[in-house]
């Protein structure tokens, strides 16, 4: 992953972006849209797009955390496959950990290309999903020859009991356990096992960030980006 599209431009402002905290440069004059940001919109967002009002209009967002919006940002309730904006209306689009959820992925990608001049897309990495796969992710996303590739994701953990174990430890006592297929200990274990699980979970989180090229799929694009959908829908 590199930032070659932006690196040589003057007067840019750099922001850690998406779950991977990837440094991305923004021109202060750009109009920026963050689509599907939930509780954690990008600080440079001028427009926030959410599909459902309850995702952002209640004290807690989809993750269970309090909703935070940048000061002065406009909230628009819209479906990502039919965005209510003109062609190339935004200088930059942030799309962080949204595409893996979208059923009509062709329509979603077409709309991002239509309304945006450039942007940053991040999803969980395909190989990371083999270890940490929630059943509500519809797609395994990878980057091949500069194009995003969407493969239908299974409902259950691809690695069976091993994947279930990893998910249970990684998200030990976390909000992500809600409605997830995990082992009972994930919701809280007796001492001293509890302390061991807390330490292992923290180490796994650090390793996940250190292995960002494997655990995240990232695309910085300009003009338009390419994508492929393989194997139909889940």
Set out the domains of the chain in order of their start, with CATH numbers.
13-155+215-229 (3.40.50)
Question: Average of pLDDT values for 32-40?
Answer: 89
Report the percent of the chain where pLDDT is more than 90: 67
In three-state secondary structure terms, 25 is strand
- Mean confidence (pLDDT) of the chain: 88
pLDDT of residue 63: 57
Report residue 55's pLDDT band, with 50, 70 and 90 as the boundaries: low
Distance from C-alpha of 30 to C-alpha of 47, rounded to nearest angstrom: 12
pLDDT of residue 59: 45
pLDDT of residue 25: 96
pLDDT in tens, 75-127: 899 999 999 999 999 999 999 999 999 999 999 999 999 999 999 999 999 98
Q: Where are the beta strands (DSSP E) in 13-102?
A: 13-17, 22-26, 32-35, 47-50, 74-77, 92-96
pTM beyond cutoff 0.75: yes
| Residues present in the chain in total | 234
Dihedral sign for Cα 35, 41, 45, 50, please.
Answer: positive
pLDDT in tens, 128-165: 898 888 888 999 999 999 999 999 998 888 888 998 99
C-alpha distance from residue 223 to each of 52, 80, 93 (Å): 28, 19, 12
Burial of 94 (0-12, 13-18, 19+ CB in 10 A): buried
Distance from C-alpha of 199 to C-alpha of 217, rounded to nearest angstrom: 27
pLDDT over 60 at 8, yes or no: no
Question: Average of pLDDT values for 49-68?
Answer: 61
pLDDT over 60 at 61, yes or no: no
Distance from C-alpha of 115 to C-alpha of 93, rounded to nearest angstrom: 9
Range from 21-35, 59-73, 118-132, 176-190 carrying the lowest mean pLDDT: 59-73
pLDDT of residue 136: 85
Q: Which of 181, 162, 172, 174 is nearest to 200 (CA)?
A: 172
Distance from C-alpha of 31 to C-alpha of 71, rounded to nearest angstrom: 14
């Amino acid at each position: 992953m590199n930032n070659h599209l932006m690196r040589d431009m003057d007067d840019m402002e750099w922001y850690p972006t998406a779950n991977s905290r990837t440094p991305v440069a923004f021109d202060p004059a750009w109009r920026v849209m963050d689509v599907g940001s939930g509780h954690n919109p990008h600080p440079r967002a001028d427009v926030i797009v959410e599909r459902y009002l309850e995702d952002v209009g209640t004290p807690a967002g989809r993750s269970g955390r309090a909703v935070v919006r940048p000061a002065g940002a406009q909230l628009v309730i819209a479906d990502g496959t039919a965005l209510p904006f003109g062609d190339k209306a935004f200088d930059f689009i942030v799309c962080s950990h949204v595409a893996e959820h979208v059923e009509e992925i062709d329509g979603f990608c077409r709309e991002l290309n239509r309304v945006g001049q450039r942007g940053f897309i991040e999803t969980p990495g395909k190989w990371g999903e083999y270890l940490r796969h929630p059943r509500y992710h519809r797609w395994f996303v990878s980057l091949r020859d500069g194009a995003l590739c969407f493969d239908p994701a299974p409902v259950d953990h691809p690695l069976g009991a091993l994947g279930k174990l990893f998910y249970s430890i990684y998200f030990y006592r976390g909000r992500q356990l809600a409605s997830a297929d995990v082992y009972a200990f994930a919701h809280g274990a007796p001492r001293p096992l509890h302390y061991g699980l807390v330490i292992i979970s923290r180490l796994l989180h650090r390793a996940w960030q250190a292995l960002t090229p494997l655990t995240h799929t990232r695309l910085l694009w300009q003009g338009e980006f390419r994508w492929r959908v393989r194997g139909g829908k889940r």
